[in-house]
Amino acid sequence: MKQQPLGPKLVFVNRFFFPDHSATSQLLSDLCFDLAASDLKVHVVTSRQRYEEPFAGMLSEEVVRGVKVHRVWTSTFGRNNLFGRTIDYISFYMSAGLKIFALTRRGDTIVAKTDPPLISVVAAFVARMRAARLVNWIQDVFPEVAVALGINGLQGPLDRALRYLRDLSLRRADVNVALGEGMAEYLAQNGAANVKVIHNWADDETLVPIRPEQNRLRTEWGLASKFVVGYSGNMGRAHEFETILDAALELKSQTDIVFLFIGGGNRMSSIQKGADRRHLGQIMFRHYQAREALAESLSAADVHLISLRPEAERFIVPSKLYGIAAAGRPIVFIGDPQGEIGKIVRSSNCGAALRPGDSSGLARLLLDLRDDADLRREWGANARRLIEEKCSRKRAISLWRNVLTAPV
């Protein structure tokens, strides 16, 4: 077993870590494994759960590829009940706070992600007590995103108090890392200190385009002769699906077009019910695929859809963009065309952006893409180029290394 190097520690805190398949877990795992491979001392404080398995009961302590993993106890109500999820969050705050306090010493660096929300408040308190550096890695902006989506259960003084503590944790951080320019601008406007933009990434060395005729999953799923419109990843409250379902209804007579949903989330059941209500037999659902099969899974589609409710702009940047682009597939974004993803898609000429509700425009675009293989190849090649030039794993890890090893 490889020994941890001496010197200051990097202590990451996030509710999920390897081998969990959630986006925040995969990104964190990539970063930590690469940092540990270069002889940095890396610890991760996480839960014993997996994203889809609250009762996973994973080992409390282990070393994985040079990373010392500390899995703390939490309650296990899971994600389906808002009250239960809140209890899970609170128990993680307490257990994780105690663990990072025990681990951290003067000169160490605490890196706090945003799962659960407001963990930066706990991390900021420990960093101040231990004279450690604090870096916030902001995947979404809470509670703003909850308010925008109409699910914020906090009211009045409690809401204001939590926002004050959140803002204080951003002001006291040495660095706040945002996922895009819009998010960075919002954070800076609200007093966050030293905001840097580092995009999420895809592992472009293993996640590569696979031709349809060479794709095992297309064959297994009976899609060899179909034009496949894909949606891959989380199907959550921030995403809009009525436009997709209504477009599928308009295309119902096009028997060679199949809509393929791969993943899960709290909106998956409502999407299935919506498809049943419209009698859409051309919609298929598949569970999350293992990371080892991700290249085949993403390459199973001829074109991919990404959706984001416009009110969630600046607060969320869907990470599914990077995997789709690495797989060399065209991207159709349903959301604010002037938002983060809309600008990226248009400036990189790797797809198109449509506003929510424009189901007829989406249907027409999908027909055009079905009939124009040259356009699909052009947009797909440009998407892959975007990853290689701006959002590769190697580039992102290098930027992160600069942030985490910079002199205090």
- H or E element that contains 154: none
Average pLDDT of span 357-362: 98
Give the residue range(s) of CATH 3.40.50.2000 domains in the chain: 9-201+392-405, 212-390
Query: pLDDT tens-digit profile of 337-352?
Result: 999 999 999 999 999 9
Of 3 and 291, the structure prediction assigns the larger pLDDT to 291
CA atoms in the 13 A half-sphere facing the CB of 291: 15
Q: How confident is the model at residue 100 (pLDDT cuts 50, 70, 90)?
A: very high
pLDDT at residue 261, as a whole number: 97
| Mean pLDDT in residue range 110-135 | 96
Distance, in Å, from the CA atom of 403 to the CA atom of 397, rounded to the nearest integer, reads 10
In this structure, of 33-42, 157-166, 338-347, the range with the lowest mean pLDDT score is 157-166
Looking up tokens 């589609």, which residue turns up?
A: 301
Residue 4 has pLDDT above 70, yes or no: no
Contacts of 333 (CB under 8 A, 6+ apart): 305, 306, 307, 308, 341, 342, 345, 351, 352, 353, 354
Mean pLDDT of 68-90: 84
The SS3 call for residue 351 is strand
Q: What is the pLDDT of residue 80?
A: 65
Write down the pLDDT at residue 156.
Answer: 75
pLDDT at 155 > cutoff 80? no
Average pLDDT over residues 345-364: 97
87-91, 175-179, 255-259, 337-341: least confidently modelled range = 87-91
Confidence band of 161 (pLDDT split at 50, 70, 90): confident
Q: Compute the average pLDDT of residues 261-273.
A: 92
Tokens matching residue 152: 């914020």
Instruction: Give the Å distances, CA to CA, from 46 to 24, 274, 386, 401, 402.
Output: 12, 36, 32, 21, 24
Q: Return the closest-CA partner of residue 182 out of 121, 141, 234.
A: 141
Query: Do 197 and 186 meet the contact criterion of CB atoms below 8 Å apart?
Result: no
Per-residue pLDDT at 407:
73
Average pLDDT, the chain: 92
CATH 3.40.50.2000 fits 212-390, yes or no: yes
- Which class is domain 9-201+392-405? alpha beta
- pLDDT tens-digit readout, 285-310: 999 888 889 999 999 999 999 999 99
Which residues fall within 8 angstroms of residue 281, CB to CB, at 6 or more apart?
none
Partners of 306 in the beta sheet?
A: 333
Half-sphere exposure in the Cβ direction for 240 (13 Å, CA): 22
The DSSP secondary structure of 81-145, one letter per residue, reads -HHHHHHHHHHHHHHHHHHHHHH--TT-EEEE-SSSTTHHHHHHHHHHHHT-EEEEE-SB-TTHH
DSSP 268: H
Q: How many beta carbons lie within 10 A of that of residue 370, not counting itself?
A: 19
147 versus 219: the higher-pLDDT residue is: 219
Specify whether the CB–CB gap between 42 and 12 falls below 8 A: yes
Q: Where are the alpha helices (DSSP H) in 176-327?
A: 181-189, 216-220, 242-250, 268-277, 294-299, 320-326
- Work out whether strand 195-197 and strand 175-178 pair parallel, antiparallel, or are unpaired: parallel
Q: Is the pLDDT of residue 1 over 70?
A: no
Over 70: is that where the pLDDT of 6 sits?
A: no
pLDDT at 14: 97
Structure tokens given for 28: 């964190």
Give the per-residue pLDDT at 251: 97
Mean per-residue pLDDT for 226-238?
A: 94
> What's the rounded mean pLDDT across residues 37-66?
90
In this predicted model, which residue has the larger pLDDT, 23 or 255? 255
Cα 321 off chain centre by: 9
**What would the mean pLDDT of 182-201 be, rounded to a whole number?**
94
